[in-house]
């Protein structure tokens, strides 16, 4: 049985907070994880429609009739999909009280879905960090230079551009940075959810300014930085 990587609780909480505060990343994560969540295409579209009512029209509780008007499916199928989302705990209905009018009303609450997405994303990031940790340990034991380029290509899920290869070469040859320290910066970028070369370069520059020379020092610096936020 495959062992899932244990997600970082602070990271998982941060992801959940971000998903609750903005809908920018939600559609992408929802489409990415719809299969492990066992959501059908109809259910995903229905979720997106509920989101659209909330964000574009400030309507927190569209009626079944309003939802049906926008869905290209039979009414019975749409209502069955909505019932399943509620039954399986992806979406819940909350009762609220208007403090001005003292009138009770209902809203769709997406927090359970955001929590599931945050958990899946945190587990994925934890697995990536563990893989980078293994690569870093290999580099510390004297892995070849080609290894670091392969690690970056694996993490970026594509071949590196000539400019990106030149950037890594400059880190190694001009800046004289240890290979394992560069991989530690890549791991830190993955942990922060900002996997791009400018951010990695910024991490390495910050470490250099603070006399961080080893992977152990980088770990300690990262822990102090997160603890101070």
N-to-C CA span, the chain: 38
pLDDT at 11: 56
CATH of domain 142-227: 1.10.10.630
- pLDDT higher than 60, residue 218: yes
The residues, ordered by sequence, that sit 6+ positions from 9 with a Cβ below 8 Å of its Cβ are none
CA distance 119 to 116: 5
Give the pLDDT mean for 130-136: 70
Would you state the structure tokens that stand for residue 106, as one six-digit string? 């209902």
pLDDT at 18: 53
Q: 105 phi and psi, to 5 degrees?
A: -145, 170
Q: Which residue has the tokens 């009138």?
A: 103
- pTM summary value: 0.56
Decide which of 192 and 82 is more confident. Answer: 82
- pLDDT higher than 90, residue 228: no
pLDDT at 126: 80
CA distance 44 to 47: 5
Q: What is the mean pLDDT of the chain?
A: 84
Would you state the structure tokens that stand for residue 24, as one six-digit string? 């920018």
Task: Give the best-scoring range by mean pLDDT among 26-35, 96-105, 131-140.
Answer: 96-105
pLDDT at 2: 47
Decide which of 94 and 15 is more confident. Answer: 94
CATH 1.10.10.10 in the chain, residues? 9-116
Band of the pLDDT at 127, cuts 50, 70, 90? confident
CATH of domain 9-116: 1.10.10.10
CA distance 130 to 133: 5
- pLDDT higher than 60, residue 33: yes
Radius of gyration of the chain (CA): 23
pLDDT at 23: 46
Per DSSP, helices labelled H in the chain are 9-21, 26-33, 41-57, 64-70, 75-87, 111-140, 145-156, 162-173, 179-192, 197-209, 215-227
CATH 1.10.10.630 in the chain, residues? 142-227
Listed range (17-26, 48-57, 146-155) with the worst mean pLDDT: 17-26
**Beta strands at 104-109 and 92-97: parallel, antiparallel or unpaired:** antiparallel
Q: 65 phi and psi, to 5 degrees?
A: -65, -40
pLDDT at 1: 46
């Amino acid at each position: 049985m495959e062992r899932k990587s244990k997600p970082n609780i602070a990271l998982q909480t941060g992801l959940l907070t971000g998903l609750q505060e903005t809908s920018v990343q939600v559609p992408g994560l929802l489409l990415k994880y719809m299969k492990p969540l066992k959501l059908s295409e109809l259910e995903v579209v229905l979720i997106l429609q509920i989101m659209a009512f909330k964000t574009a029209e400030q309507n927190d509780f569209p009626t079944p009739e309003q939802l049906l008007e926008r869905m290209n499916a039979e009414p019975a199928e749409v209502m069955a999909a909505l019932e399943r989302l509620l039954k399986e705990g992806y979406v819940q209905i909350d009762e609220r009280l208007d403090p001005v009018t003292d009138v009770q009303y209902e809203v769709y609450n997406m927090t359970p879905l955001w929590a599931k997405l945050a958990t899946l994303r945190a587990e994925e990031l934890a697995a990536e960090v563990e893989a980078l940790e293994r690569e870093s340990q290999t580099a510390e034991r004297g892995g070849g230079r080609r290894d670091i380029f392969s690690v970056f290509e694996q993490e970026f899920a594509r071949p590196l551009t000539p400019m990106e290869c030149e950037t890594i070469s400059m880190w190694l040859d001009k800046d004289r940075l240890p290979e394992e320290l560069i991989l530690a910066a890549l791991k830190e970028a993955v942990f922060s959810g900002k996997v791009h070369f400018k951010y990695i370069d910024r991490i390495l520059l910050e470490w250099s300014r603070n006399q961080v020379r080893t992977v152990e020092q980088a770990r300690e610096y990262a822990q102090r930085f997160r603890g101070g936020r």
